[in-house]
Structure 1
């Protein structure tokens, strides 16, 4: 696991959630620098990363970004993803000026209700062969 951590940030997401899977596909499509890797919370690597940072992989309320020993979650993680994608997506990072005590409750509310609002896949999303090396 440590060796993988050195290769760049890992986004751990819910591959059964339609919104989360769409966001993962968006990252793969727009991350031209190939900075981010992805790990589904339903697979061993993603579940282990959640547990490593004290999050129950069976009931997470946030996607996380793991970069070495550092972790970002909630709205900080989402904003870091868009900041890492480059122009024009990095402009979304200006939302960091909104205090976290306002951003995070809104993020957590959406995360708790993600299946109700956006639906749930019967099976986990699978990347295209061209992106398979970026999904752990």
Structure 2
């Protein structure tokens, strides 16, 4: 089921964050069937999806995972993405048993310090031609 030209599973990420870009590359390697599509939070599509879902359009401190019209943020978004990956990563769904405030406290600590710890780019990453179709404009 697609909403307009938006795939069923879209991960919105901070396009200038080195940690976030690394996470996207990690996901791509473990999702060879291409179940998950991507868009940077800063892109036209990312901004449109944020607005459509009533989310802030200027604070990029969370992954946003949209699956079948449902929106997940922070640690829940990461766990929902991991369950689609090959290998043992899909078992990370057990982390949903950890109370959300505890999970999000750890997530927020990392998000708050991600530029300091991992750095940032001046502009969003450009996907290679082989995976470009998985990135929304």
TM-score (norm 1): 0.91
Alignment pair present for 1:135 and 2:126: no
CA distance in structure 1 between the aligned counterparts of 2:34 and 2:45, rounded to whole angstroms:
19
Between 1:37-46 and 1:96-105, the stretch displaced more is 96-105
- CA RMSD, Structure 1 to Structure 2 (Å): 1.5
Q: CA deviation at 1:57?
A: 2.5
Unaligned regions of 5+ residues in structure 2, if any? none
TM-score (norm 2): 0.90
Alignment pair present for 1:99 and 2:99: yes
Q: CA deviation at 1:52?
A: 1.9
How many residues end up aligned between the 2 structures?
A: 135
Unaligned regions of 5+ residues in structure 1, if any? none
Q: Which is helix-richer, 1 or 2?
A: 1
Q: CA deviation at 1:75?
A: 0.6
Cα distance change on mapping 1:4 and 1:67 into 2, 3 Å: farther
- Please list, as runs of the form range in 1=range in 2, the aligned pairs for 1:48-87 lying within 5 A after superposition: 48-87=48-87
Cα distance change on mapping 1:63 and 1:91 into 2, 3 Å: same
